[in-house]
Structure 1
Amino acid sequence: MQRPRVLFVDDSRLMRSCAQAILGERFELLLADSAEQAWQMLLEQPGIMVVFSDLQMKGESGYWLLSRIRCCTDPALVDLPFVLITGDDDEGCRHDALQRGATDFINKPFEDTELLARATAYARSGQSARRLRLLERDHHLDSATRLGNRRYCEERLIQAMSFARRHNQPIVLMHLRLDGLSQLLEELGSPHAERALARIGRTLAERIRREDTVFRTDDEVFTFLLPATRADGARRLQERFLPDLAEMGLQPDDSALSVTAAFVVQQPDPEQIERAADLLAEGLARRAPKNDLPASAGTVLSAGQPDLEQALALLEQGDADSVRRSLPALRRRLQPLLALLADTEQAQSAQTPNITRLSVVRRD
């Protein structure tokens, strides 16, 4: 029988050794010496049932780890039981820990039976929660792509906006529109369409960052929830997220039908959390802006639009017309580089020493 997995976080080697002696026989115990290492382990090690974490550590604190867990969009992590270990017996400290989302707390030095009882109780509750999530999962999934559906996106958006409001952080919704997808899938027929949608789901899920979540929010729309991200940062992620439509068979050469891709970037105000569902609906109703709009209004990235290297190659081939159509988008993407180049040249010019002419006086 597989033992429940428990994560114990403390920068003291002695405390980690104590935890190993107390919990090692009954649990699969994972040990971390910092909050940063613990967060990485949570992302990489599935099935952790409960976290015990010291409050004050070198580097980030236990509060930092708690906040990362509570704002995570992964349902397996966001509600994870979290027991804070502290040497402070102050009632105010305990109240603060609970307000931040801690499940429980224990004081140092702790008794063997106290730590073991907490681990046993919360590991059981974690296992029960996991079974409940498995039962609920199908209600939140798009069956074709195995991505979260629109309902799940709304729920996660509310949670993310709540955290962003509490911590004064930005949040972005980025909608990838695959125009023509429905028509093409209908032409391909059922077996091919099912495989294509499953492949789209796998591809998008593999390309997102660990902190992001992607959903299928409409027949031809996939929505990325990007916490702690601004609109300009979201635009830099577009190439990473955009699937290769031709490689996936969504732009067949022998068909009059093909799929074109474009992004719509939306930055909801966390203060409008009560309008989360309406904000999502508004974003899904928006169309990608034209290339002549400023970058702040949104950026279009279509599957057929050349990047810089492709544009240079087209110019070498004498195909200036294809490049000319994409000049506004190319210029926006080059603007930070051009600004840096101008600043560098100006600085170098200011540092160039003046040449002073010396007059040589001849004396007889």
Structure 2
Amino acid sequence: MPNLDKKSDVTQPRILIIDDSRVVRVSLRKVLGAEFDIVEAEDGEAGWDALFADASIQVVLTDADMPKLDGYELIARIRAHDDVRISGIPLNMVTAATDEAARQRALGLGATDFITKPFDKVQLLARVRAQARMDQTTRNLAETTEALIEHATDDALTGVRSRRYFLRRGEQDLAYIQRHQQDLCVFVVGIDNFDDLKNQYSATVTDQVLVSIASSLGKAIRKEDTLARCGEAWFAVIAPTLGGNEATTVCNRIREQIAANPYSKEGTQIPLTVSLGLSQHGVDDINKAQHKTKGIEAYLSFAEDYMRKAQTDGGNRLMAAKPTKTTQKRISIDAALRILAKGEPQKLDTHIDTIVEQLMPLLIYCNEQRGWQLDTELKAFQQKINGT
């Protein structure tokens, strides 16, 4: 088993020493221990486990001949891994083998360096020190790149999220509501006659219109919703737990507010209207197979299609699929209780029949087990539900 002798507040670079000889591990620790936090492993498999489990390891030193997994096989496994943190780590073979064939084999498999025993203490320390710095630089660059990618998920003009972020976040929201049997909707807001605006006004003005619409949408949605600019003149919103009549109400309120408040700046007033397309989980799913896209992108595609149709029909309107009984989504008792606990009982209005249908067998079971003697009452209750 690897020795993960971690300090409570590690500031030193961490290195992994893999050797089946305790004498060699102690010798390396004496040379490197003053500058590095040491993790030890006594064979290749244990070393692999330690590297895989500890993301803070920055340099690896491994022996060649070891039980379970030798150094050569370990190098090959590390370099073949999908995780760049593992596959790109500085990796040294420290061995008593001095022949050129061993050296070429190790370097050919991807070893960073080949160090022979007995090793020169000054050179060994200098090499590991340089490699640790190199690994830290690589990590810093990776963090910077990740930050740039995250920044790229924001629309530069309006400051709202981009389509890329929208789809990524949407898959998370979709997975959540499917687990908890809750609603979700995606609605698209398109500015009507935007091409006419571009022909009539400068790019500066039309950009300001887009910023203004984005700001209005941001104020109209909830904290848990995600707003993104997904096209030149249209935005999209993911609204987890929102559905049914409530979703329709929100969309129409947004449409009415924008129509009632023309864009105004420096004496210029520009009347604006928007068209909305609304797609809902549990409503549009039934036609999902007809779309090439899947997951949240399918809902976005439905909503965009509805929005385009609304604009074609004259604009300043909401369009959505009409829910039917075949698309009514069952809600679990657990989900219903969570909605009640949040103080949102109105969300259960369209699910009463489903809730009662699930409750009746539970009530009958409890009556039998607890001896409540409510057989007559429950029978009458069941008849009322059935309409008999």
Q: TM-score normalised to the size of structure 1?
A: 0.44
Which structure is richer in relative contact order (CA contacts within 8 A, separation 6 or more)?
1
Report which of the two structures shows the higher radius of gyration computed on alpha carbons.
2
Q: TM-score normalised to the size of structure 2?
A: 0.41
